[in-house]
Structure 1
Amino acid sequence: MEQAIQTVVVASGNPVKVQAAMEGFRLMFPQVHFGQVSVAVPSGVSDQPMSDAETLTGALNRVNNACTVHPEADYWIGIEGGVERLNGELAAFAWIVVRSGSMVGKARSGTFFLPRAVADLVEQGIELGTADDMVFSRNNSKQQGGAIGILTENVVDRKQLYEQAVILALVPFRNEQLYSGTFTTEV
């Protein structure tokens, strides 16, 4: 008997975010066939979130907005990159939020610190991807390896950084019996 395809709505048109989301789903649920819809929806936060809380809010808003646009889907996922000043340095990370009809999972990616030249531009109001392009003479790096890819020479790229957090956000969905009643659809 043919297995039904479950639909994942990725709240982004950025190919790196879409690939990370779908690979995370495939790795966590290898027996499930997933179809993917990408939708650009507003985050409701600044283009460059400047705190942990603002970044999480952006991911939550993206999930809710994607759910509103495509309510028939099985899952919705929002990925929001952000920065925050920690001990005098600017740290970069992302929040991932996954929602189904009955649960919500959240996880934060690994964190790394930005070099001073990039951090200075970001603190002047320039989005991280644009700052990376300016400092490293790149073009559209945020749809490629991102800052982490540039800084590690692609030992870890943006897709890998996000993919691991997608997997972590899916933990409750893979263990529903353990998380039952822990999460709600309220985000």
Structure 2
Amino acid sequence: MKVIVASKNPVKIDCTQIGFNQVFPNEEISVEGVAAHSGVADQPMTNVETMQGAKNRAQHIKNEFPHANFWVGIEGGIEDTNAGMEAFAWVVILAKNQKGQSRTSTFFLPPKVRALVLQGVELGHANDQVFEDHNSKQKGGAVGSLTNGLLGRTAYYEQAVILALIPFVNKELY
């Protein structure tokens, strides 16, 4: 089974490999990451924009690599709400004639990170500034920093990958 992830980020590649291995334990699965544009802002600022970015990424690589079995787009985003600034990601998985999608759980960003994001700083860079880290978005991310490593970005995205695969293992229902 050939799976293409629309990113070179090791977090997105790893969570896809882990999720697919769990859902399809009897399959030999090859996961490859390729760079793909999201077609949205570098820092998506709404739920709708974030979902669109994941869809765009998946469709872009499906067009570019038509001989794979699955194409995966993962887009992290934020939305400023009355309750605070929420962080989350969307996962969109395409196959030849089917689609699955899921959103991660949400968590709220601290005021210092929120302030930087509202000034136009991408979440990963804002997180690095506040937590004195470097390239955290390719490691534990904001969720890892805020949970003291109890929940890293790979594990955080993994569940959404599994949930996005529901239509593929329940084809008679979808």
TM-score, with structure 2 as normaliser: 0.98
2:62 counterpart residue number: 67
Moved over 6 A (4+): none
Give the letter for the 1:148 counterpart: V
Rg (Cα) greater in structure: 1
DSSP 3-state at the match of 1:49: coil
Partner residue of 2:110 out of 112, 115, 122: 115
Partner residue of 1:131 out of 126, 147, 153: 126
Contact 2:16–2:31 under 8 Å retained in 1? no
1:148 counterpart residue number: 143
1:98 counterpart residue number: 93
| Partner Cα separation in structure 1 for residue 5 and residue 36 of structure 2 | 10
Q: RMSD value over aligned CA atoms?
A: 0.7
Partner residue of 2:17 out of 22, 40, 46: 22
| Partner Cα separation in structure 1 for residue 115 and residue 84 of structure 2 | 10
1:3 counterpart residue number: none
Name structure 1 gaps, 5 residues minimum: 1-5, 180-187
Name structure 2 gaps, 5 residues minimum: none
TM-score, with structure 1 as normaliser: 0.92
Fraction of identical pairs, as percent: 49
Equivalenced residue count is 174
| Structure 1 position 87, deviation (Å) | 1.1
1:182 counterpart residue number: none
1:52 counterpart residue number: 47
